[in-house]
């Protein structure tokens, strides 16, 4: 259910989206304007506690990628919980020879006092990573195909 009007949660979500859609290795410090000091970040591969650890994670990730962009499709807010659906376009020199990979996902955020206190990303790690690896990629694609039969 999308709330209309400028609630504090709506303002926080808009700030979050604005930062993520323009995020690059040159402006990672902008993340400290949206995350709480004790933020918990989770995705299919990581659980990171605390902004300092999250900041280091982003620094390493963005120093290793050629490009990483987020396109936001939908958003919803219910009380202090927000959801976003997105497409990430990622180019990493060690994945698919640096070719762009496109991954769809969604994010659940818990907002408190104008900050994100919990950030949980949901996406297919196989689609993002495993399918891009030479030997493992073929096996994952074959397994997915068989599961779909």
The CATH number for 29's domain is: 3.10.450.50
Q: Which of 11-15, 21-25, 58-62 is the most confident on average?
A: 11-15
**Has residue 81 been placed in a domain?**
yes
Burial of 47 (0-12, 13-18, 19+ CB in 10 A): exposed
Sheet holding 67-78: strands in order across?
A: 46-49, 35-43, 115-123, 101-112, 81-91, 67-78
- Look at 77 and 132; give whichever has higher pLDDT: 77
CA 38/CA 49 separation, integer angstroms: 7
Assess whether pLDDT exceeds 80 at residue 8.
Answer: yes
Task: Tell whether the model's pLDDT for residue 125 goes beyond 80.
Answer: no
Domain of residue 63 covers: 8-124
Q: Which two tokens stand for residue 83?
A: 């959801």
Q: Is 0.95 surpassed by the pTM of this model?
A: no
- Give the total number of structural domains in the chain: 1
Q: 140 in a domain, yes or no?
A: no
136 in any annotated domain: no
Whether 47 is in a domain gets the answer yes
Interatomic CA distance for residues 95 and 119, integer angstroms: 25
């Amino acid at each position: 259910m999308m709330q209309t009007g400028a609630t504090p949660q709506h303002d926080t979500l808009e700030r979050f989206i604005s930062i993520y859609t323009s995020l690059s290795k040159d402006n990672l410090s902008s993340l400290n304007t949206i995350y709480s000091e004790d933020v918990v970040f989770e995705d299919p591969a990581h659980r990171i506690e605390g902004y300092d650890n999250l900041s280091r994670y982003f620094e390493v990730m963005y120093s290793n990628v050629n490009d990483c962009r987020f396109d936001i499709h939908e958003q919803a807010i219910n009380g202090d919980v927000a959801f976003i659906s997105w497409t990430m376009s990622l180019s990493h020199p060690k994945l698919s020879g640096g070719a762009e990979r496109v991954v769809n996902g969604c994010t659940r955020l818990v907002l408190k006092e104008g900050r994100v206190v919990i950030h949980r990303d949901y996406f297919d790690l196989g689609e993002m990573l495993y399918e891009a690896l030479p030997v493992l990629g073929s096996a994952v694609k074959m397994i997915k195909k068989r599961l779909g039969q």
